Structure formats: structure tokens, C-alpha cells
């Protein structure tokens, strides 16, 4: 009888362990956890999902700990790592349409962008982009921020002529527009930007929001900070999971990941909206930053350059054409709502 009871207890323990067994996923982030808003978006997601799920657990790794940031897509696709938290704009060099799901120059702001992604065709196309290009990944929107600043410059910029010949760190589709105006651009990770500014390898940079940029110390070298962020009216972030790994997850775990990401979008957006004005005040009063607004003439030049880029990217790329047309159709419809409902400041 004693042996039977021990066997029964062991069986119950095994069943219990099987029921609570977790799939553990290693996730590389494109942003260090020391960065506010960008970095905390990744760590907050991990806290959220690990707090609600007994089926799946994520482990966060800073950029470079598992793979370099710009290699994350390939690493997740091949199964070298399980997951990545980044923005699809980092893959612009690999896929023409990548930044259409990250940040679109003169494009949708946060609410409009999220509407297209979640309630129109955006997310369908986002996944199709990876599928059609042979990437074995499952994409989930998992973060969102409002506009960024459009650059830190060592000297005042008043005309397009002032831009010509500059070397500048720039992100995504906006970089292609800047190149039209005579700027030489490069995409650098967060930790590489300040040293490049310091040694003169670049003359100017954009990266993110005032609070984030302050942490990286750009104001120590480049005092002129320009607004508005025409190149990134809002920026979406993605969770990529290797598709084989994702398919092996339980339906419950998949739902929990989606819920945690939706919650993360809300807190990520709110953190940026709530904390950047104080960073702007401090930049002026304590760090000697000069906040500048682009003139209508400069914004017109940026818009003209972007319009040329959009036509060129669509030429010969049927998928870009299809997604771009869908986004424009959505935006035309959205304008009926936005132009009537919102008060102008």
C-alpha cells in the first residue's frame, strides 16, 4: 500500500509538472535596457508576458549579447535565436517595404498608424512581407511611440544648401529622402552614434525622442535640435519569433503574447507622451540646447524629396506598390474622420 501511494504521488507530480512546463525563449533587443522608452519597451514586454503566462517565458538580452542588432532578423529566421524586439525599419537594406511597417515620412501618426495595422490591412501585409521574402518568422506589433525629433546638428540649418555634404546618421525611409538633398547617411546603433559624432565621422544625427536622445548625450556636441519629426511621425516596434518555435507554442501562450504586446503598445506610447516635455525643458535650461522648428520651405523640400523616393521604391516592386496604395487609400478614408473630429491647436 505504501509503494502504491508513493507511485500515485509521483504520477500526480509528473502531471502537475507537465501542466506547468514553460517554453523558454531567448529574445534579443535592438535597444539597451538602459534607454528609456525604447529600451524599457522590450523589458516591459518581458515583464508583462512572464507575469501572465505559465506556458511561455521570455529572457531579455541587450544588443550584441546574442547577435548584432542588424543581424537579428536573419538570426531569428534561421533559428539561431528564438525572438527579437526591434523595428522593421532596421531591415530596410534587405527589404524595400520594411519601413512601411515602422515609420513613414509624412505618414500616419500613432493612432492612425495603429488603426491601419490592427483594423485594416497593415498587419496582413507586414506578415506577408516576411513570408514572401523567405523569412521564417512570426511578427506581432509590440510597441509604439509618437513623433521623434528630426535631428541634432552642430550648426544651424536654414536652407537645403546647408545640408549638402553633411554626413548624418539617419533611419529608414527618411534617410533616402535626405540623400536626395545631398546628405550622406548611415544607420548606426545607439551606442555607436556619440563616438561617431565625437570623432567627426558624422556631422549630425537623428535617433529618437528628446528624453532618449538626452541619455545618449548628443547635446554635448550638437546643440541644434530640430522639430518636427517629419521622417518618423510615429514608429512601430515588432516582436519577431521564429515561426517553428511559434507554431510549437500552445494557443494560450500565443494569445498571451498578443495580449502582452497590446498592453505594451499602450504603456510604451504613454511613457513617451508623458515624459518628453520635461526632457525638452531640461535640454534648454541646463544643457544649452537650441530647439528649432523647420521652416515651411524646408518641410516642403523634405516632402518633395520623400515623394520622389516613394515613386522610385514603388517602381519595379509590386509588393511595395500594393502596400503603398493600400496605406494611401486608408489614409484618405481616415482623413474624413481626423479632419472633422480633432480640434486644431
- By C-alpha distance, which of 289, 268, 270 is closest to 31? 268
Do residues 92 and 191 both lie within one domain?
no
CA distance 7 to 14: 11
> What is the helix, strand, coil percentage profile of the chain, to 5?
55, 15, 30
Do residues 117 and 205 both lie within one domain?
no
Last residue of a domain, one of 275, 293, 327: 275
pLDDT recorded at residue 345: 72
Residues 88 and 238: beta-carbon distance below 8 Å: yes
How many Cα neighbours within 13 Å face the side chain of 168?
29
CA distance 288 to 32: 26
CA distance 248 to 326: 33
Output phi, psi for 131, to 5 deg: -60, -50
CA distance 320 to 98: 9
> Hey, what's the cell of 83?
525572438
Q: For residue 86, what is the domain's CATH number? A: 3.40.190.170
Do residues 194 and 247 both lie within one domain?
no
Q: For residue 326, what is the domain's CATH number? A: 3.40.190.10
Low-confidence ranges of the chain (pLDDT < 70): 1-21
- By C-alpha distance, which of 103, 226, 125, 246 is closest to 171? 103
pLDDT recorded at residue 22: 84
Q: Which residue in this structure is represented by grid cell 536622445?
A: 213
CA distance 92 to 85: 16
How many Cα neighbours within 13 Å face the side chain of 266?
6
Distance between terminal CA atoms of the chain? 80
Residue 49 lies in a domain: yes
Name the residue range of residue 228's domain.
Answer: 151-232+283-341
Amino acid at each position: 500500500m505504501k509503494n502504491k501511494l508513493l507511485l500515485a504521488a509521483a504520477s500526480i507530480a509528473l502531471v502537475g509538472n507537465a501542466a506547468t512546463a514553460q517554453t523558454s525563449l531567448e529574445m534579443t533587443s535592438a535597444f539597451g535596457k538602459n534607454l528609456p522608452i525604447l529600451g524599457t519597451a522590450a523589458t516591459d514586454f518581458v515583464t508583462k508576458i512572464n507575469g501572465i503566462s505559465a506556458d511561455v517565458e521570455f529572457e531579455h538580452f541587450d544588443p550584441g549579447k546574442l547577435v548584432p542588432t542588424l543581424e537579428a532578423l536573419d538570426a531569428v529566421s534561421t533559428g539561431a535565436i528564438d525572438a527579437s524586439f526591434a523595428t522593421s525599419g532596421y531591415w530596410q537594406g534587405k527589404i524595400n517595404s520594411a519601413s512601411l511597417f515602422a515609420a513613414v515620412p509624412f505618414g500616419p501618426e500613432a493612432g492612425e498608424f495603429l488603426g491601419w495595422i490592427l483594423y485594416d490591412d497593415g498587419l496582413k501585409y507586414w506578415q506577408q512581407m516576411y513570408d514572401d521574402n523567405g523569412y521564417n518568422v512570426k511578427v506581432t506589433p509590440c510597441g509604439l511611440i509618437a513623433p521623434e525629433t528630426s535631428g541634432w546638428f552642430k550648426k544651424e540649418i536654414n536652407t537645403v544648401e546647408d545640408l549638402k555634404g553633411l554626413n548624418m546618421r539617419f533611419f529608414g525611409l527618411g534617410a533616402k529622402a535626405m540623400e536626395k538633398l545631398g546628405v550622406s547617411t548611415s544607420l548606426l546603433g545607439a551606442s555607436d552614434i556619440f563616438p561617431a559624432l565625437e570623432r567627426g565621422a558624422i556631422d549630425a544625427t537623428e535617433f529618437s525622442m528628446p528624453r532618449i536622445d538626452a541619455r545618449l548625450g548628443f547635446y554635448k556636441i550638437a546643440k541644434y535640435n530640430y522639430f518636427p519629426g517629419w521622417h518618423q511621425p510615429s514608429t512601430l516596434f515588432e516582436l519577431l519569433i521564429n515561426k517553428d518555435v511559434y507554431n510549437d507554442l500552445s494557443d494560450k501562450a500565443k494569445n498571451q503574447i498578443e495580449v502582452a504586446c497590446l498592453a505594451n503598445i499602450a504603456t510604451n506610447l504613454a511613457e513617451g507622451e508623458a515624459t518628453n516635455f520635461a526632457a525638452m525643458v531640461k535640454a534648454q535650461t541646463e544643457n544649452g540646447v537650441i530647439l528649432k522648428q523647420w521652416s515651411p520651405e524646408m518641410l516642403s523640400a523634405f516632402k518633395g524629396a520623400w515623394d520622389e523616393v516613394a515613386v522610385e521604391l514603388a517602381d519595379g516592386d509590386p509588393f511595395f506598390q500594393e502596400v503603398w496604395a493600400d496605406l494611401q487609400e486608408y489614409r484618405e478614408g481616415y482623413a474624413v474622420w481626423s479632419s472633422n473630429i480633432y480640434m486644431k491647436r
